[in-house]
Amino acid sequence: MPSPQLALFALVIGIVIGAGVVLLVTWAYRMRMQAIQDTSQSIPAGITEVLAGMDDAACVLDPSGLVVATSRAAARFDIRPGAVLENGELRRLVRDVRSSGISGTETLRITAGNALDPRLVSARASVVGPRLTLLIVRDVTERERLDQMRTDFVSNTSHELKTPVASVSLLAEAIESAADDPDQVRIFASRIMAEAGRLGQLTGRIMSLSRLQAAESLAQVEPVSIDEVVHASIEAHAVQADSAGVELMRGGDHGAWVRGDAQVLVEAVGNLLANAIQYSPHGSRVGIGIRVDGDLVEIAVTDQGIGISEADRERIFERFYRADDARSRRTGGTGLGLSIVKHATQRHGGEVRVWSRAGKGSTFTMRLPRIDAPGADGAGASKKSKKKHKKKTAKRARTEHGSVGAARNGENA
């Protein structure tokens, strides 16, 4: 073979061998990196930063279930770095996801930390590497509770509205049947008025409660005189107290001011007075007192009524809950008054407390943040507000007087 051809052949052989060696080295390097990656416990880039910014409980686990990284919220479910994931249902979810390679989500009830009551959580597991799995645990207990509250609210509202509507319908038929008897017509008409008043009160309170729960803030916030709130509430329920033979008494400090919506506070205090009157025996007293305690103003309504059992005290602020269902229906109670008090007080940055003893009576106390009395401008605004409150109070008193009268006529019939 000529020398030039031999040199060319040798060059080709060298290139082929060199290329093979390069490919072999590259393959070996890749296999080595793959082996390192398959056995590595290092967290992929960015995962740690994501965990640090998460509000939900989250963690990264290795194949043995060991937690290698967590978010701050993971401690709520006792998930800590360096420890094995203890919850069996979460471990099963992680194993299923690792075996299938497909992300999975389940809704579970698990115990959070030292809490005794199980929490409803939405758990999602995803593969983030050959050996690592990302587990996110979102607590949806509160969302479930709110959904249940909405469902119960719609159901209870429908039920409560059905009763007076059905009564009005039946009484209207009775009037038609007794058209030739004027005395019977008057009796049935008075009962219709009583049911209509009850229906109006129920719808009004449902609207008030819905506004308090739906709005992000109070509609009108200004300095409010607690003296005016109490005065307006007493005036609005004077007719009810006289009809029930209950004496209303006012005492305590004067000159206290808070910031908020005066009409909402009048309604809240009025609901406490209405309940106290309803559950007080004839000839007893209902007291309403004001006490300034540092940066707080306390409005306490005390009765000498039947009291509330310990079991009922835990639920009396729930919507439509009645400690004495038969008596509430007999007196026209809606089961919404105390719920309105609770939400109105919370919207003003305060809290409501209750003390009660069966057979001795009850005391409900609204605790609100106190402010200093406003100056001249505030006084002017106060006078204007007071005139507006008096007009509304007079109208409300006339309405309640009519409702009480109608109800008493219906009962006498």
- pLDDT digits over 115-145, tens only? 556 888 999 999 887 788 899 999 888 888 7
Instruction: State the average pLDDT over residues 34-57.
Output: 71
What's the confidence (pLDDT) of residue 117?
67
The DSSP result for 202-242, as a single string, is HHHHHHHHHHHHH-SS-S--EEEEHHHHHHHHHHHTHHHHH
Whether the pLDDT of residue 227 is over 80: the answer is yes
pLDDT interval class at 383 (50, 70, 90): very low
Q: Nearest CA to 131 among 168, 94, 79?
A: 94
pLDDT interval class at 367 (50, 70, 90): very high
What's the confidence (pLDDT) of residue 246?
92
Interatomic CA distance for residues 188 and 203, integer angstroms: 22
Instruction: State the average pLDDT over residues 354-382.
Output: 78
Instruction: State the average pLDDT over residues 20-36.
Output: 72
**pTM, 2 dp:** 0.51
C-alpha distances (whole Å) from 328 to each of 158, 208, 408 are: 18, 20, 15
Whether the pLDDT of residue 336 is over 50: the answer is yes
Interatomic CA distance for residues 272 and 288, integer angstroms: 9
Q: Are 201 and 236 in contact (CB under 8 A)?
A: no
What's the confidence (pLDDT) of residue 269?
92
What's the confidence (pLDDT) of residue 370?
92
What's the confidence (pLDDT) of residue 234?
93
Q: Are 300 and 397 in contact (CB under 8 A)?
A: no
Q: Which of 62-71, 341-350, 368-377 has the lowest mean pLDDT?
A: 368-377
pLDDT interval class at 400 (50, 70, 90): very low
Interatomic CA distance for residues 155 and 153, integer angstroms: 5
| Structural domains of the chain in order of their starting residue, each with its CATH number | 47-139 (3.30.450.20), 146-412 (3.30.565.10)
